[in-house]
């Protein structure tokens, strides 16, 4: 009986390995074929992509991008912030989001993918051309989160060092709605060209072991990370309101720095079509998080 079970597990494991190998080969073939169909880019956009290719991250601003739909997108975001505050106040009355050691303040997220102001900005042809050129394959806009992060006594969720799992490579675009200094906990990463193979392997081992112990953990702490990767090569992405960060978060280890003050930002997510793990992309368009409509009415997220 035990031998039969072991045999079934081994067969299933081998099937997964073969399936993943076929998928990876298909992906590489698609990239080779698609390179002939990539769109032309401006000098600014080419420089952004070159930075992404070398380091996994590039910074710009809404003003530099100068997209036609920016004003409407920002107006929609700021119109939703009061509804977010009202929702958070209710959650605090119910014992959520206290920000103490015993009761950490988890991020507050609205899924705004279906609202036209955000979808319009996310699918501007200039952005899609940049992302398609970087990924090198047909792309999918997975969705956008309007997110508020709060002060905490200790790191939680994405304040821990990790890499994202949705796809082999992906682009997340972060847009700061207010100034983000050290106090607000800026996006921080280690450039891909600064890490050795062994450093990358050791960090990923630490992340994997932590997830085995607790599947809800996102990654490892600053202290654990610093034992492998010196702080001198950590890249801090603080910036003014309107800062735009392009990052391949599947490629680089990153986190949001622990903060003593709140932060509000937009997170736009793009992957290949189809992504490696579509089940990890559903959060950007399903009811995992609260979903406001155009009248700012909010549906209850799944976790409540």
User: Tell me: the pLDDT tens digits for 87-122?
Assistant: 887 666 555 555 555 567 889 999 999 999 999 999
| Sequence-distant (≥ 6) Cβ neighbours of residue 207 within 8 angstroms | 161, 162, 163, 219, 220
Q: How does the average pLDDT of the chain come out, rounded?
A: 86
Higher pLDDT, 65 or 18: 65
C-alpha span between 219 and 190 (Å, rounded): 14
| Nearest CA-CA partner of 289 in 80, 79, 139, 73 | 80
CA dist list (Å): 246 to 58, 79, 170, 249: 5, 25, 10, 9
pLDDT at 24: 59
C-alpha span between 27 and 272 (Å, rounded): 9
Q: Where are the beta strands (DSSP E) in the chain?
A: 57-61, 108-111, 139-149, 171-176, 187-189, 235-236, 243-247, 254-256, 263-272, 291-292, 298-299
How much is the pTM?
Answer: 0.86
Q: What share of the chain in percent tops pLDDT 70?
A: 80
pLDDT at 16: 43
The model's pLDDT over 136-177, given as tens digits with 9 standing for 90+, comes to 999 999 999 999 999 988 888 899 999 999 999 999 999 999
pLDDT at 40: 82
């Amino acid at each position: 009986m035990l031998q039969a079970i072991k045999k079934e597990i081994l067969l299933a494991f081998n099937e997964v390995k073969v399936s993943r190998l076929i998928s990876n080969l298909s992906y590489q073939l698609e990239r080779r074929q698609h390179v002939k169909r990539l769109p032309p880019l401006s000098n600014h956009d080419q420089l952004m992509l070159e930075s992404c290719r070398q380091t996994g991250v590039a910074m710009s601003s809404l003003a530099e991008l100068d997209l036609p739909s920016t004003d409407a997108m920002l107006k929609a975001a700021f119109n939703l912030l009061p509804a977010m505050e009202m929702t958070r106040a209710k959650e605090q009355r119910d014992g959520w989001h206290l920000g103490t050691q015993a009761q950490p303040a988890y991020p507050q997220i609205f899924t705004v993918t279906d609202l036209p102001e955000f979808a319009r900005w996310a699918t501007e042809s200039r952005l899609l051309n940049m992302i398609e050129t970087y990924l090198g394959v047909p792309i999918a806009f997975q969705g956008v989160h309007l997110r508020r992060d709060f002060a905490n006594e200790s790191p939680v969720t994405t304040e821990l060092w990790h890499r994202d799992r949705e796809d082999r490579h992906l682009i997340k675009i972060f847009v700061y709605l207010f100034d983000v200094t050290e106090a607000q906990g800026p996006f921080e990463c280690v450039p891909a060209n600064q890490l050795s193979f062994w450093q990358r392997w050791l960090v990923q081992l630490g992340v994997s072991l932590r997830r085995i112990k607790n599947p809800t953990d996102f990654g490892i702490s600053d202290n654990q990370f610093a034992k492998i990767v010196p702080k001198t090569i950590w890249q801090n992405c603080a910036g003014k309101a309107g800062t735009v960060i392009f990052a391949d978060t599947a490629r680089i280890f990153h986190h949001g720095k622990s903060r003593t003050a709140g932060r509000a930002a937009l997170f736009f997510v793009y992957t290949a079509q189809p992504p490696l793990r579509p089940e990890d992309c559903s959060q950007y368009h399903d009811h995992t998080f609260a979903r406001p409509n155009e009248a700012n009415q909010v549906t209850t997220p799944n976790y409540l």
